Every structure is written in C-alpha cells, then in structure tokens.
Amino acid sequence: MSLHPNGPNRGQVAALRWFPGHPSSVGDVRRFIANRLQYCAEPDAAILVASELASNALQHTESGNWTTGFLVMLEHTAEGALITVHDAGSASHVPYIATPPLDTERGRGLHLVDRLTESWGSQGGPAERMTWGVVRCH
C-alpha cells in the first residue's frame, strides 16, 4: 500500500504542520485534519477535538503570538487518529477540566475533549506543552 502524500491513500498519511498564532488558524486546523481523515466514516469528533486543542493553545499559551504559533500533528494508531497540539507553554495556566456554572460561557472545551476521545493528556510547562487526544475513526 502506498502512503505517498499524493497517492490514493493520502487520507491516511500522518502529517505535521505549524500554524501562526492567530484566531483564523483554528479554521485552518479543522481543514488540515478534515483533509487527512478521508478514511474516517465520522471525522467530526476528530475535527472538534483538534479545534478545541488549537483554540486552547491560542487562548491560554504563548502560542497566541503570531510568529510563535503552534504545531499540529496527526498520526494513525490502532486506537484511532492521534491529534497532538504542541504549544509554546504558559507561565500562568495548566490544562484542567473546569466545572463552570451553568450560566458561564467558557470552560467546557476540555470536557468535550474528554468525552470525544478514547484517551487524552497533556504534558509540559511554562516553555512548551503537548496536549493530545485519540479519536476513534469508525
């Protein structure tokens, strides 16, 4: 089976890309993932997870600076699609699952990630962080 990026199995090729630290990058991340999950019958969960992780990198870490940005990596594992967002770290935030009051607008992104993934995690600190999730592709 050929895994050349321009071959017929392009949808299964692992990929890595840098995105600039700008809100418009979130849409580009969704497109990046969608284009490479053509083998997934239901790619929506993977796209949503990538979208939440990328938004967090932009909003809560140094990756929000245009020239710093963040990396998104897509790999294929036996469990499903592994999506990793590598950000530039934060001196003041660490990822956690918040328990926002019902009328609070924010704080549900990682809840969604937790529900949509087979497994997820985060490791890093003030200088860099990787947050990842594995999403089943039915």
Ligand X SMILES: Nc1ncnc2c1ncn2[C@@H]1O[C@H](COP(=O)(O)OP(=O)(O)OP(=O)(O)O)[C@@H](O)[C@H]1O
Q: Is 109 in the site for Mg ion (CB under 5 A)?
A: yes
Q: Is 63 in the site for Mg ion (CB under 5 A)?
A: no
CA atoms within 13 A on the CB side of 3: 7
Record the tokens describing residue 119, joined without a space. 């497994």
Record the tokens describing residue 8, joined without a space. 């017929």
Q: Which residue is nearest to ligand X (CB)?
A: 109
Angle formed at CA 121 by CA 80 and CA 34, multiple of 5 degrees: 40
Cβ at position 59, least distance to Mg ion in Å:
6
Comparing CA positions, the residue from 80, 93, 97 lying closest to residue 129 is 93
Is 7 or 107 the residue whose CB approaches ligand X more closely? 107
Is 37 or 113 the residue whose CB approaches Mg ion more closely? 113
Is 40 or 64 the residue whose CB approaches ligand X more closely? 64
Where do contacts with Mg ion occur on this chain (CB under 5 A)? 56, 109
